[in-house]
Amino acid sequence: MSIHGQKDNAVVVLDHVFTAYEGAEHPTIRDLSLTIKQGEYVIIGGPNGAGKTTLLETINGMLPITHGKATICGMALAGDGVHVRQKVGYLIQNFAFSPLTPFTVRDVVMMGRYGGLGLFTRPGDADYRAAEEAMKSLGVEDMADIPIGQLSGGQQQKVLIAHNLAKNPRVLLLDEPFSNLDLFARERISHLLESLAKKGVTIIIVSHAFDDLPDRPIHILVMKNGTLIHDTTCAPGDVEAQVRKSSA
Amino acid sequence: MLEFLIQNNIVCHAVEAMLFASIACSVLAVVITQINISSIGFTMAHAAFAGAAVGIFFSINATLAAILAGLIVAVLLGPLSERAKISPDTALGVMFGMTMAIAIFFIAYMQSLGRGFDASGLMFGDVVSLFREEIYGLAVISIVTILFIIIFYKEITAIIFNQKIAEAAGIRVRPVYYAMLFMIALTVALCINIIGGLLLYVWLVTPAAIAVQFCNSIKQMFIVAPIIGAIVSVSGALTGLEYGLPVSPLTAVLFSILFAAAIILSPRRRISMRKE
């Protein structure tokens, strides 16, 4: 047991963390402490502008921590955070690719492996196999040679999830992963995330939609004005009520 | 190097210079156009132009001065837009205006001093009065550019695809990005005497703009763009020298005609009329 009473299997530990965007006068996240354990399924809720996406980018080290301490996958988050990002997948929100983008689905999924390889190392057979498996798990293997810009928004979303799965992340951060997806794709991805959580991958999702949650305890974090106002675990059927109640 | 193919020394040197300059520029054109940093290429071309003018004024090696000016722009660009809280586009606009003003100031001042400086070579290029060392320099930079792309291929392609996704994937984006700017600055400075500061931009954009009309993957673009650049540039050099036409402007026009044709013929813009 250590700070905030977390057990040794904690994969995300934030201890009184402040985060600020470059050039901003005020911190975007203020005095935030939380612990997330391995294999947990976490939903981050809250109103627009509450700091949900900022929290994800703090966890993966893309934003500088101005005060406090963060430990992700056992590594202290310091410097440019590149080592943390090699273990943490992050599906960004709001992307758009031109139809003339010269990258095929296979290219994009393979890029998920690049960070872990480091400079000067070329992808090997294991990397290509991991990319193929990731494409199969999302059902995009038949599109492997199609330029990503020629796919629909939902298909592009699946390709980017496959890109993140290809790196075999210990923590998977997803910003609105179900937007753009049709009913079947949502079900497929929901089942996939549940199976990943069962295998010990920690799933952290920013979402406004609470359908398709797995039948398991859900860890809820509710943000407001850059602070964490609610941190609890409940049944999937109670998530929406919990988020509504605490956001009100 | 190509004397066994072209007997005339002047034509041979011109063809060699255009060949190597076009390979280096076209490879970098893929990076420039796909990251949407065409303004950077444009500004660096003018920075090199200003550097060369300053170098000539102070009797320093013009190529070295051009390299230095390009590097200064590369180094200033990131911090200027990040720390001064202005958009990269505005930072580039300011730097472009500044470099152009410096170049024109020194050229005009030298002319007013009666130093008989002819700036047309710097502005529009001069393929016939190159030193052998300059051609060797171009050969080296074209090889270095290709090696740079091969060595950092995975990082460069990930950055081209999407910088934020590349960063999230754990790729060290910033050092590779600045290395790319450094390569652009170096190439631009070495090519300015051949192609000219005002026309270099065509070489840094158009070969890739043509290639993307026919290529489905970035790997194909890195192969097709320099081939297009080399064929058009060598054709421009041979035609210009044969008929006594200015080589760089002629080649720039050829690039533009080919780009228009590529847009019309591009299979990636065609609408399929098939029913199955």
Q: Is B4 among the domain residues? A: no
Q: How many CA atoms lie within 13 A of B111 on its CB side?
A: 10
- Tokens of residue A112, six digits: 């998920």
Q: What angle do CA B266, B270, B274 make, to 5 degrees?
A: 140
B82 inside 8 A of chain A by CB: yes
In 3D space, the residue among A120, A116, A123 whose CA is nearest the CA of residue B150 turns out to be A120
Give per-residue pLDDT as tens, B165-210: 999 999 988 889 889 988 988 898 888 878 877 788 899 999 999 9
Q: What percent of chain B has pLDDT over 90?
A: 39
Q: For residue B79, what are the domain limits?
A: 9-275
The predicted structure's pLDDT at residue A184:
85
* SS3 assignment, position B184: helix
Average pLDDT on A154-158 reads 89
Residue type, B63: T
Q: Is B104 among the domain residues? A: yes
Contact A226, A27 (CB under 8 A): yes
In 3D space, the residue among B200, B259, B175 whose CA is nearest the CA of residue B24 turns out to be B200
pLDDT at B84 over 70: no
Number of domains in chain B: 1
- Tokens of residue A31, six digits: 């005095």
- What is the phi/psi pair of residue B252, to 5°? -60, -40
Q: How close A78 gets to chain B, by Cα (Å)?
A: 14
Sign of the torsion angle spanned by Cα atoms A146, A147, A148, A150: negative
Distance (Å) of CA B227 to CA A102, B193, B212, B230: 17, 22, 13, 5
Instruction: Indicate yes or no: CB of A104 within 8 angstroms of CB of B216.
Output: yes
A75 inside 8 A of chain B by CB: no
pLDDT at A1 over 90: no
Mean pLDDT of chain A: 89
Distance (Å) of CA B19 to CA A149, B14, B23, B152: 33, 8, 6, 24
Average pLDDT on A236-244 reads 88
B275 inside 8 A of chain A by CB: no
Q: How close A242 gets to chain B, by Cα (Å)?
A: 30
Name which residue leads in pLDDT, B158 or B66: B158
Q: Is B2 among the domain residues? A: no
The predicted structure's pLDDT at residue A8:
67
Q: What angle do CA B131, B22, B197 make, to 5 degrees?
A: 70
| Chain position carrying tokens 């709001």 | A94
Residues of B in contact with A107 (CB under 8 A): 157, 161, 217-218
Of B162, B164, B217, the CB nearest to A104: B217
Residues of A in contact with B213 (CB under 8 A): 100
pTM for the predicted model, two decimal places: 0.86
Q: How many CA atoms lie within 13 A of B238 on its CB side?
A: 11
pLDDT at B89 over 80: no
Residues of B in contact with A85 (CB under 8 A): 167-170
Q: Is B230 among the domain residues? A: yes
The predicted structure's pLDDT at residue A160:
94
pLDDT at A6 over 60: no
Q: Is B1 among the domain residues? A: no
Q: Is B160 among the domain residues? A: yes
Q: Domain containing B251 — which CATH number?
A: 1.10.3470.10
Q: What angle do CA B235, B117, B107 make, to 5 degrees?
A: 95
Cα separation, B48 vs B99, in Å, equals 8
ipTM of the predicted structure? 0.88
Instruction: Indicate yes or no: CB of A119 within 8 angstroms of CB of B166.
Output: no
The predicted structure's pLDDT at residue A208:
83
- Tokens of residue B20, six digits: 């190597």
pLDDT at B86 over 50: yes
Distance (Å) of CA A235 to CA A29, A42, A176: 27, 12, 20
Q: Find the DSSP H helices in A78-117.
A: 82-85, 105-117
Of B82, B161, B165, the CB nearest to A92: B165
Give per-residue pLDDT as tens, A25-80: 788 899 999 999 999 999 999 998 899 999 999 999 999 899 999 999 998 887 77
A95 inside 8 A of chain B by CB: yes
Q: What angle do CA B60, B62, B66 make, to 5 degrees?
A: 115
Distance (Å) of CA A241 to CA A47, A234, A247: 14, 10, 10
| Chain position carrying tokens 């060949």 | B19
Confidence of residue A93 (pLDDT cuts 50, 70, 90): confident
Q: Is B209 among the domain residues? A: yes
Sign of the torsion angle spanned by Cα atoms B177, B212, B150, A148: positive
Instruction: Indicate yes or no: CB of A111 within 8 angstroms of CB of B218.
Output: no
- What is the phi/psi pair of residue A153, to 5°? -60, -40
Confidence of residue B118 (pLDDT cuts 50, 70, 90): low
pLDDT at B110 over 90: no
Q: Is B192 among the domain residues? A: yes
pLDDT at A213 over 60: yes
When mean pLDDT is compared across A163-177, A205-219, B88-102, B110-124, the lowest value belongs to B110-124
The predicted structure's pLDDT at residue A5:
44
When mean pLDDT is compared across A129-133, B123-127, B212-216, the lowest value belongs to B123-127
In 3D space, the residue among B27, B23, B41, B6 whose CA is nearest the CA of residue B201 turns out to be B41
* SS3 assignment, position B157: helix
Q: How many CA atoms lie within 13 A of A214 on its CB side?
A: 22
Name which residue leads in pLDDT, A80 or A244: A244
Residues of B in contact with A23 (CB under 8 A): 82, 85
Residues of A in contact with B259 (CB under 8 A): none
The predicted structure's pLDDT at residue A2:
42
Cα separation, A232 vs A242, in Å, equals 9
Encode burial over B233-254: b for 16+ CB neighbours within 10 A, e otherwise: bbbbbbebbeeeebbbbbbbeb
